[in-house]
Amino acid sequence: MLAAATLAAAAPAAAQRTTLEKLVHQQKLDNGLDVIVMENHAVPIATAEIIFRGGASTQEPNDQGVPHLFEHMLFKGFGTGVRSFGSQAGDLHAGYNGTTEDEAVTYYLTLPSRKVENAIDLLAGLVRNPHFDSEDLKTERHVVFGEFNRHESDQLFLLDREVERRLWGASFHRKNIGGEAIPMLRVTPDRLSEIYKQYYVPNNAALVVTGDVYADRVFEAARKRFGSWKAAPDPFTAHPIPPMPPLLKTEIAILEGPVEHITLEIAWQGPSVRGDPAATYAADAMASVVNDEQSRFQQNLVDAGYFQTASLYYQPLDHTGPITFRGTTSMKELASALTALEAELRMMSASDYFTVEELEGAKKRRAVQGVLQLEQGAGLAHSVGYWWAVSGVDYYLGYVDNLSTRTPADVNAFVARYITKRPFVIGILTTPADGAQVELYLKQYVELAEDR
């Protein structure tokens, strides 16, 4: 019966990979630019996105936030300044934006598919010959500082940042996407030009086009607009990203603010997608099971009344992704909630905690999500670009297939290796009146956890 069930679950996953391989068309230009096309002719909409490996992972302490500022400045430095990027995007009836993440920076347009070649032209103009002006830099700093200040007023953001600061220690600057005020104030146009020359090269980039398009036309347009862009030395050969230092001891962070509920966050250092891919599949299988509202995790923590909400996730990254638990509770329930959570984490490494049936359900949900993702338009381009940056496209193609092979033993091993036997950071957001009592509870929890 078990073998039959396993084969039944593996079949749709294998079929999905076959479907993806038919949909995903790839070419690498002579200059190293990867061109990835996914056709879907259901709706006459397309997304064109160019993505560069880098982002916060390339930051030094005196550059925190500069890649994000650079993302804004690339739009300001477009062309000769006679007609802005936004104006030309408007002519195409396109929505556009840029994003800076842990390990990538992206620029994209979503527009009527008949104009996709114009979008490729516009992206080429954006990234191939920017001009950085001191006055533009002054203006754009205000925009970025506006985002920065909004984050600074968000209590949950502050909790996240404080937990991450302790989780990554001396290398936190390589995870600090939003950055710090002083580096962004000090950056000059010359420094922006240095970043451009180092990381904005075709052999460190991918052009991803999804939607109602034809691969052969996209490849032709890519060769026409990007083919003469000269390759440069691999930026990560001369400037390799150092390994993230391991967390050596458990730490506590307490933030106080005007909040109604207590928010608890616990973070561990997880696996690298490239360094331990098998563990990343186990991590996602675990998350899919425990975050399902019918799981024993939810029943024992939320349905039992200890937490109002509880979730556990892994963020896949090349340079060590975090595993994060977040829950909301009340001061009245906090002590019981911590005890219940510790009991649940201990049980998760037991051989009977995760069942074959639960993993089968996780596989099916992931297969369905994968099919739905193919209809997401811009979201699909972002997803493919993200996986290209942190793991490579083959990881994306084989994701559901590999997830379907995870067993309860694989997930148990993941929990034991990356959660129950590892130091962690525990952070809490509470009111000033409860701060002292909360600190006592957290110290007791840490003592209990260290006895595992």
Q: Is 54 left (phi over 0), alpha (psi -120 to 50) or beta?
A: left
Give the pair of three-digit tokens for residue 254: 């307490």
- Top-level class of domain 251-449: alpha beta
For 425-445, write each residue's pLDDT tens digit.
999 999 999 999 999 999 999
For 124-174, write each residue's pLDDT tens digit.
999 998 999 999 999 999 889 898 888 888 999 999 999 999 999 999 999
For 239-249, write each residue's pLDDT tens digit.
999 999 999 99
Give the pair of three-digit tokens for residue 69: 């500022």
Q: How confident is the model at residue 403 (pLDDT cuts 50, 70, 90)?
A: confident
For 185-214, write each residue's pLDDT tens digit.
999 999 999 999 999 999 999 999 999 999
* Residue ranges of E strands in 238-297: 251-256, 262-269
**pLDDT computed for residue 9 by the predictor:** 38
Q: Which residues pair with 26 in a beta bridge?
A: 36
The angle that helices 189-199 and 134-152 make with each other, rounded to 10 degrees, is 80
Q: How confident is the model at residue 3 (pLDDT cuts 50, 70, 90)?
A: very low
State the Cα–Cα distance between residues 423 and 248, nearest whole angstrom: 6
Contact 187, 32 (CB under 8 A): no
**pLDDT computed for residue 15 by the predictor:** 62
pTM over 0.75: yes
For 382-394, write each residue's pLDDT tens digit.
999 999 999 999 9
DSSP assignment letter at 21: H
**pLDDT computed for residue 372 by the predictor:** 67
**pLDDT computed for residue 19 by the predictor:** 77
Q: How confident is the model at residue 345 (pLDDT cuts 50, 70, 90)?
A: very high
State the Cα–Cα distance between residues 293 and 284, nearest whole angstrom: 16
**pLDDT computed for residue 450 by the predictor:** 87
State the Cα–Cα distance between residues 207 and 33, nearest whole angstrom: 7
**pLDDT computed for residue 452 by the predictor:** 73
For 75-120, write each residue's pLDDT tens digit.
998 875 568 999 999 999 999 999 999 999 999 999 999 999 999 9
DSSP assignment letter at 262: E
Average pLDDT over residues 14-37: 88
State the Cα–Cα distance between residues 127 and 73, nearest whole angstrom: 11
Q: How confident is the model at residue 401 (pLDDT cuts 50, 70, 90)?
A: confident
Backbone angles phi, psi at 263, to 5 degrees: -110, 125
One fold for 20-238 and 251-449:
yes
Q: What pairing do the DSSP bridges indicate for beta strands 45-53 and 34-39? A: unpaired
Judged against a pLDDT cut of 60, whether residue 325 lies above it is answered with: yes
Q: Hey, where are the domains in the chain?
A: 20-238, 251-449
- Top-level class of domain 20-238: alpha beta
Average pLDDT over residues 39-44: 92
